[in-house]
């Protein structure tokens, strides 16, 4: 009978990825706990890949919509009018805004509902009789300008990033906690089995 030449590549069977997977699957040294560890790792990776974007998108969308709703309700009725200073600016604060100082001055304006008065912030150099544009609400009270919609976008993006980061920390913490719990369980099981085997080994070594 002719012995195959080991130096001939044709005499070597090719072993594909399936053989490696089968070898790992039937590895007698691989415990059920090892398979459970791999399964949990795979599941957590899937959660990270799918859950993090979803958590960030959900938190960002909710925060943006909520912020836009509040902003819209606050901005309803706000409109600009032209007012005139009835006195020079007082209580000047140097360097409060770029290019000058800021003070407050009494103003008056007239619209369809009549003549109104109030006090607002003005830039240094404006004198009595100067005209300025101010924002007033539906009750004809001086108010702040409407907030820019970009603030809502920034708030939503920030909330999404925080939510995704928090989810990542929670998943990582769950993974660490699971592995530590599993390791403690395996250590306890090993000590129990060793307590049963060690006396037999000790007795055998005495012979």
- Is the pLDDT score of 97 beyond 70? no
Q: Are 161 and 56 in contact (CB under 8 A)?
A: yes
Domain positions in the chain: 59-75+147-207, 79-145
Give the pLDDT band (50/70/90) at residue 82.
very high
Q: Of the ranges 14-18, 88-92, 139-143, which one carries the lowest mean pLDDT score?
A: 14-18
Residue 180, classed as helix, strand or coil, is helix
- Is the pLDDT score of 19 beyond 50? no
Residue 97 phi, psi dihedral angles, 5° rounding? -135, 155
Structure tokens at 132: 């300025």
Structure tokens at 59: 């938190």
The predicted-structure confidence for 108-137, as pLDDT tens digits, reads as follows 999 888 899 988 888 777 788 888 898 998
* Residue 136: other Cβ atoms inside 10 A: 20
Mean pLDDT of 66-95: 80
Give the pLDDT band (50/70/90) at residue 57.
very high
Mean pLDDT of 140-158: 85
Give the per-residue pLDDT at 17.
52
Give the per-residue pLDDT at 123.
78
What CA dihedral angle connects 120, 126, 132 and 135, to 10 degrees?
Answer: -20
Q: Over pLDDT 90: what percentage of the chain? A: 11
């Amino acid at each position: 009978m002719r012995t195959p030449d080991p130096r001939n590549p044709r005499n070597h069977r090719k072993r594909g990825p399936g053989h490696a997977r089968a070898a790992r699957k039937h590895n007698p040294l691989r415990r059920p706990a090892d398979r459970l560890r791999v399964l949990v790792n795979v599941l957590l990776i899937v959660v990270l890949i799918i859950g993090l974007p979803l958590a960030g998108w959900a938190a960002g969308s909710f925060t943006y919509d909520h912020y836009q709703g509040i902003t819209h309700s606050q901005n309803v009725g706000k409109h600009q009018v032209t007012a005139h200073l009835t006195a020079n600016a007082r209580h000047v604060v140097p360097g409060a805004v770029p290019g000058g100082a800021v003070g407050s001055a009494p103003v008056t304006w007239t619209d369809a509902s009549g003549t109104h008065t109030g006090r607002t912030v003005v830039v240094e150099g404006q004198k009595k009789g100067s005209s300025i544009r101010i924002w007033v609400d539906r009750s004809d009270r001086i108010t702040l300008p409407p907030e820019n919609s970009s603030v809502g976008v920034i708030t939503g993006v920030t909330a999404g990033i925080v939510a995704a980061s928090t989810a990542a920390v929670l998943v990582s913490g769950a993974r660490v906690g699971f592995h530590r719990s599993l390791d403690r369980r395996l250590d306890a099981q090993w000590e129990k089995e060793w307590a049963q085997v060690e006396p037999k080994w000790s007795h055998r070594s005495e012979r």
